[in-house]
């Protein structure tokens, strides 16, 4: 709805707004005083090389065929019929290209200018036989009309002359997209071809946006290239942008897309905020494009394909996405049911229905992707946490010497790697992975694997655990890959293309955007709360066997499935909360701060606290005034901004200022620039605290002090800016400060500490490191039955235990076990068949997933008759006994070799003499195993293993 006040006149609108917007896109206007000119036989000579717009052209008396453009100064006083178009835009030959009909700021350009502009365009067409482009504008809004090919649509700025000439060529030569066959060299899978055709058919109907949902690994990039291929052939696109939110995705599109399928086309990567204007095909990250997008016109691109970049459309990058008037196609691997409605709305979907969908489940059925199996587990300290009783005497003494109170050690398992670290936990995690991971063709070395760590320090501790436990790999086995490493991309390429490393330990860097088909193990060594992020991480392992080049890195030379180790109950969490943890808002943090301040103001006004309300009004006005006026998104909302900055807002009886600020102004806060996330996050928490004091919100008053205190505790006290506030900082961290915290206290926190939060460290201090052993105590998920059903171990074992105890009085085999009578093979088989019922499908193979002893010992243990030693313990004791009995004084390398043999045998359960001359023993160099050991010694080791095989595994 247009504002009631008259606003700027049409002349003022043109000179102060429309002329400025035209100049931004390279259009050059003559001065108003010299707008009149004679016949334009040679426009470059008459108007000078740069001038390409004439104002106030008479569409009735001008002769457009010969470029005789009559202006208002020439025809106003004669008696002939006249109609004056506000602007005539000329092409590079000086011929009519487009017209602009301008209206004053208070008028709706569609209601008041559309018919008028169409009449002017018709006048031109009668003379030239050609349609010209039409723009309608009131200085705030710009509408574009490509008659007769497309309807009116709103723009964020005017097209440049080059844009309009390119579209003129497309209008003359465009063909229907559905006429062109899909190039099988680009996509050959039936479902991918279907996705391409659905998009093309949708565009043929006149739509300009489409959303494609395809699971990771199903060929989104190839589908994009196929769409590009056909749109270029149909002369519907020349300037094309592939947009991603990660450099890896950008480079993948360039190398495996543009270079491969369009070798002859000019192409460029957008780097450091610069754009090569000579290219046709572009790739960029959204972050880089945001630095330079206003350097080009809204019509610069014909087609924009965004690969997962739309995740941020309604957040930080909406300004960029909505700036361009191109056909926009979104690609995503996020399942449709996990996407928010704003994504569907942006791509103009019908409800929550994407134009083309290829789900992970369908791709697995088609053999395009592979399925996964989950091994959910936790260690003792992850489950129980750490209490003072877990400390050794030496640890207690050390803590006292460091001035720490051991009695305060009372950590929950969820605080692992935050407030405490138990050295044995990371070792237990690494050992569990090495013992149960999918291995390569040799059966001894892990297949390609990714471990998702909690933090860079956690990643380092996991790497150190690999080094301590498996020194035989000479630091080749595992590698840390983090974004802070300037050579991170080289490390990713090394992981992708080389035999070593086998294990990539990542902090966020490998969650998305990496394509290593041979990955067979994923380790969730951290909790994940977003289900979208969770699925992206799972997508790192979904590539099928057919995509793998290095079969020697795969289990038995083939990838049938991949394995997930879940040490943080992520699968259990999402089974209970399928959508994941609900974040407080998808809004930009600056929006949320502004909304909370409005709510504070509302409460203060109700309480009659005029003084604080006036101070808060000033703060709100400063927020509005800080909005970037040159942003294209703010520019089209300038009327709202101007109204919000006017003192009359608070006294106008026709406006509810609180509602106006909530509905009209708050959404604009996302366009604030140079926002430091730590400063904004602290401000948000403190403003919440202030609001909680006004509303007496006990829940918030209990929660927020801890969150604010954690951030304050992360300030580096050695920094001068922090040091001079140290006394106030200590006071703010004291529990007494929070006993009766007030609105003014919360404002003090913002005034004193918000700005220096830009110096905040990631962690307040090193977590307490507790040197104790840890073990995997709970394995969570097993697979059983003919349909590979999955169940949590605890629940499944309870069912089995219950069934065994029900059989105590009736089953002859269990009666024999109770009496400690000797069992025959027939007895054991009879009990196995009884337990292998449709409800349980309990077999020896299922048992092995969560119990390392024999079937009979499991029954005895369930009945309280036996406690089984693990195979690892038996093997470890046997090797220790071997060393004592042989009275060997082995050196460090020889002992390391024996430890490697112990680990190798525990995993393989069988060993031949020839195995000692292969990996991993070859990692010990040319002296291993001979002459490091003589032949008799090696035969003795093999004999030990053969005996253990009989005693432990048979």
Here the CATH number for the domain that contains residue 70 is 3.90.1570.30
Q: What is the pLDDT of residue 299?
A: 97
- 340 pLDDT above the threshold of 50: yes
Greater confidence (292 vs 311) lies with 292
Q: What is the pLDDT of residue 404?
A: 60
Mean pLDDT, residues 858-882:
83
Query: Domain ends where: 726, 759, 792?
Result: 759
Q: 231 with 224: CB under 8 angstroms? A: no
- 350 pLDDT above the threshold of 70: yes
- 779 pLDDT above the threshold of 70: no
Mean pLDDT, residues 612-619:
95
Indicate the pairing of strand 789-792 with strand 781-784.
antiparallel
- 35 pLDDT above the threshold of 70: no
**Domain co-membership, 568 together with 497:** yes
Q: Which residue range forms the structural domain that includes residue 694?
A: 589-759
Q: What is the pLDDT of residue 578?
A: 44
- 360 pLDDT above the threshold of 50: yes
Q: How many helices (H) and strands (E) does the chain have?
A: 40, 26
Q: What is the pLDDT of residue 316?
A: 65
Contacts of 526 (CB under 8 A, 6+ apart): 452, 453, 454, 458, 568
**Domain co-membership, 168 together with 313:** no
CA distances, 263 to each of 194, 222, 242, 257, 267 (Å): 25, 15, 16, 10, 9
Q: Which of 31-40, 290-299, 380-389 has the lowest mean pLDDT?
A: 31-40
Q: 114 with 107: CB under 8 angstroms? A: no
Q: What is the pLDDT of residue 823?
A: 87
pLDDT digits (tens, 9 = 90+) for 871-887: 788 888 899 888 877 76
Tell me if 352 is assigned to some domain: yes
**Domain co-membership, 61 together with 34:** yes
**Domain co-membership, 572 together with 603:** no
Name the token pair of 708: 């604010």
CA angle at residue 164 from 158 to 169, to 5 degrees? Answer: 160
Query: Domain ends where: 802, 835, 862?
Result: 862
Greater confidence (124 vs 735) lies with 124
Tell me if 584 is assigned to some domain: no
Greater confidence (268 vs 508) lies with 268
Tell me if 97 is assigned to some domain: yes
- 507 pLDDT above the threshold of 50: yes
pLDDT digits (tens, 9 = 90+) for 887-912: 667 888 888 888 889 888 887 888 99
CA distances, 178 to each of 226, 230, 261, 328 (Å): 12, 9, 20, 18
Tell me if 769 is assigned to some domain: no
Q: What is the pLDDT of residue 391?
A: 67
- 796 pLDDT above the threshold of 50: yes
Determine the angle formed by the axes of helices 638-645 and 610-625, rounding to 10 degrees: 150
- Report d(CA 218, CA 920) in Å as an integer: 35
**Domain co-membership, 432 together with 351:** no
Residue 530's DSSP bridge partners are 580
Greater confidence (867 vs 695) lies with 695
Q: How many domains does the chain have?
A: 6
Residue 281's DSSP bridge partners are 240, 267
**Domain co-membership, 406 together with 467:** yes
Mean pLDDT, residues 743-772:
84
CA angle at residue 659 from 654 to 663, to 5 degrees? Answer: 120
- 36 pLDDT above the threshold of 50: no
Q: What is the pLDDT of residue 355?
A: 93
Contacts of 905 (CB under 8 A, 6+ apart): 875, 911, 945, 948
Q: What is the pLDDT of residue 160?
A: 96
**Domain co-membership, 357 together with 414:** no
How confident is residue 273, by pLDDT bands cut at 50, 70 and 90?
low
**Domain co-membership, 628 together with 743:** yes
From start to end of 415-536, where are the E strands? Answer: 420-422, 449-452, 478-481, 503-506, 521-524
How confident is residue 95, by pLDDT bands cut at 50, 70 and 90?
very high
Q: What is the pLDDT of residue 789?
A: 76
3-state secondary structure of 554: coil
Name the token pair of 782: 């097993």
Q: What is the pLDDT of residue 486?
A: 80
pLDDT digits (tens, 9 = 90+) for 319-338: 888 899 999 999 988 877 77
**Domain co-membership, 65 together with 92:** yes
How confident is residue 843, by pLDDT bands cut at 50, 70 and 90?
confident
Q: Which of 185-194, 658-667, 740-749, 901-910 has the lowest mean pLDDT?
A: 901-910
Identify the CATH number of the domain in which residue 203 sits.
3.40.50.300
pLDDT digits (tens, 9 = 90+) for 913-954: 988 988 888 888 887 888 899 998 899 999 999 999 888 876
Name the token pair of 700: 């918030």
For the question of whether the overall pTM of this predicted structure is more than 0.85, the answer is no
Q: What is the pLDDT of residue 409?
A: 66
Tell me if 492 is assigned to some domain: yes
Greater confidence (23 vs 531) lies with 23
Indicate the pairing of strand 209-214 with strand 768-770.
unpaired
Q: Look-up: residue for tokens 């220096």?
A: 756
Q: Look-up: residue for tokens 């309604």?
A: 314
Tell me if 770 is assigned to some domain: no
pLDDT digits (tens, 9 = 90+) for 379-403: 776 776 766 666 666 667 666 655 5
Query: For the chain, what is the mean pLDDT?
Result: 87
The full length of the chain comes to 954
Tell me if 602 is assigned to some domain: yes
Query: Domain ends where: 862, 887, 908?
Result: 862
**Domain co-membership, 167 together with 181:** no
Tell me if 244 is assigned to some domain: yes
- 37 pLDDT above the threshold of 50: no
Q: What is the pLDDT of residue 860?
A: 87
């Amino acid at each position: 709805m247009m504002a009631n006040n008259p606003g700027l006149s049409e002349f003022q609108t043109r000179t102060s707004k429309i002329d400025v917007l035209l100049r931004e896109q390279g259009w050059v206007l003559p001065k108003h005083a010299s707008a009149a000119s004679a016949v334009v036989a040679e426009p470059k000579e008459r108007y000078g090389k740069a001038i390409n717009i004439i104002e106030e052209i008479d569409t009735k008396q001008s002769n457009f065929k010969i470029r005789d453009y009559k202006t208002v100064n020439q025809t106003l006083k004669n008696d002939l019929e006249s109609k004056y178009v506000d602007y005539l835009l000329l092409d590079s030959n000086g011929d009519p290209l487009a017209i602009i009909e301008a209206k004053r700021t208070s008028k709706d350009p569609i209601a008041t200018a559309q018919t008028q502009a169409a009449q002017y365009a018709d006048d031109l067409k009668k003379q030239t036989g050609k349609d010209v482009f039409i723009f309608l504008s009131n200085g705030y809004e710009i509408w574009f009309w490509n008659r007769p090919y497309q309807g009116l649509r709103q723009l964020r700025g005017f097209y440049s002359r080059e844009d309009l000439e390119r579209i003129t060529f497309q209008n003359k030569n465009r063909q229907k997209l559905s006429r062109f066959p899909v190039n099988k060299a680009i996509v050959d899978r039936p479902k991918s071809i279907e996705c391409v055709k659905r998009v093309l058919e949708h565009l043929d109907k006149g739509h300009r946006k489409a959303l494609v949902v395809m699971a990771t690994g199903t060929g989104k990039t190839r589908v994009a290239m196929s769409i590009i291929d056909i749109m270029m052939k149909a002369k519907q696109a020349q300037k094309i942008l592939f947009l991603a939110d990660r450099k890896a995705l950008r480079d993948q599109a360039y190398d495996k897309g543009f270079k491969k399928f369009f070798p002859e086309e000019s192409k460029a990567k957008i780097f450091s905020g610069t754009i090569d204007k000579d290219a046709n095909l572009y790739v960029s990250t959204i972050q880089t494009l945001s630095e330079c997008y206003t350097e080009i016109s809204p019509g610069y691109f014909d087609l924009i394909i965004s690969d997962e970049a739309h995740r941020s459309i309604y957040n930080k990058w909406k300004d960029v996405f909505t700036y361009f008037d191109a056909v926009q196609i979104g690609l995503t691997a996020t399942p449709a049911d996990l996407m928010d409605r704003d994504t569907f709305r942006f791509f103009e979907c019908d409800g929550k229905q994407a134009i083309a969908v290829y789900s992970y489940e369908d791709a697995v059925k088609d053999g395009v992707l592979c399925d996964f199996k989950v091994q959910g587990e936790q260690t003792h300290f992850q489950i129980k946490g750490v209490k003072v009783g877990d400390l050794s005497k030496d640890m207690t003494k050390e803590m006292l010497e460091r001035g720490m109170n051991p009695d305060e050690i009372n950590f929950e398992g969820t605080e692992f790697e935050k407030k405490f670290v138990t050295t044995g936990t990371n070792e237990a995690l690494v050992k569990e992975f090495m013992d149960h991971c999918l291995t390569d063709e040799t059966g001894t070395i892990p297949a390609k694997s990714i471990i998702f760590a909690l933090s860079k320090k956690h990643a380092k501790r996991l790497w150190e655990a690999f080094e301590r436990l498996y020194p035989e790999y000479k630091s080749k086995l595992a590698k840390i890959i983090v974004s802070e490493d300037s050579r991170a991309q080289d490390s990713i390429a090394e992981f992708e293309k080389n035999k070593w490393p086998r294990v990539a330990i990542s902090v966020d860097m490998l969650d998305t955007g990496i394509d290593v088909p041979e990955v067979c193990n994923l380790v969730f060594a951290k909790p994940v709360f977003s289900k979208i992020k969770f699925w992206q991480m799972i997508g790192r392992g979904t590539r099928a066997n057919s995509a793998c080049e290095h079969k020697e890195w795969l289990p038995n030379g083939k990838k049938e499935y991949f394995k997930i180790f879940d040490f943080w109950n992520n699968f259990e969490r999402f089974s209970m909360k399928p959508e994941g943890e609900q974040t407080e808002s998808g809004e930009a943090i600056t929006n949320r701060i502004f909304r909370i301040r409005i709510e504070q103001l509302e409460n203060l006004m109700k309480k009659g606290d005029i003084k604080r309300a006036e101070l808060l009004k000033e703060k709100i006005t400063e927020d509005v005034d800080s909005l970037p006026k040159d942003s294209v998104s703010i520019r089209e909302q300038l009327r709202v901004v101007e109204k919000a900055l006017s003192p009359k807002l608070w006294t106008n009886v026709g406006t509810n200022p609180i509602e106006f600020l909530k509905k009209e102004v708050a959404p604009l806060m996302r366009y604030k620039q140079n926002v430091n996330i730590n400063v904004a996050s602290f401000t948000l928490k403190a403003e919440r605290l202030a609001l909680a004091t006004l509303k007496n919100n006990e829940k918030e008053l209990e929660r927020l002090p801890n969150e604010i205190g954690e951030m304050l505790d992360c300030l580096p006290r050695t920094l001068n800016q922090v040091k001079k506030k140290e006394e106030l900082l200590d006071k703010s961290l004291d529990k007494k400060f929070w006993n009766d915290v007030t609105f003014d206290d919360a404002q003090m926190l913002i005034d004193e500490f918000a700005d220096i939060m830009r110096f905040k460290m990631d962690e307040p201090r090193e977590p307490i490191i507790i040197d104790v052993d840890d073990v995997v105590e709970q394995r969570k998920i097993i697979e059983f039955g003919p349909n590979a059903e999955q169940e949590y171990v605890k629940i499944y074992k309870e069912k089995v235990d219950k069934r065994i105890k029900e059989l105590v009085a009736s089953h002859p085999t269990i009666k024999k076990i109770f009496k400690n009578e000797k069992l025959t093979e027939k007895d054991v088989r009879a009990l196995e068949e009884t337990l292998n019922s449709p409800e349980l499908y309990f077999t020896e193979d299922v048992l092995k997933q969560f119990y390392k002893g024999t079937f009979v010992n499991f029954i005895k243990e369930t009945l309280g008759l036996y406690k089984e030693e693990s195979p690892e313990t038996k093997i470890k004791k046997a090797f220790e006994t071997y060393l004592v009995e042989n009275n060997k004084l082995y050196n460090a390398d020889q002992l390391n070799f024996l430890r490697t043999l112990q680990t190798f045998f525990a995993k393989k359960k069988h060993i031949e003499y020839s195995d000692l001359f292969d990996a991993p023993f070859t990692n010990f160099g040319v002296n291993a195993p001979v002459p490091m050991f003589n032949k008799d010694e090696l035969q003795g080791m093999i004999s030990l293993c053969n005996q253990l095989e009989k005693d432990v595994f048979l």
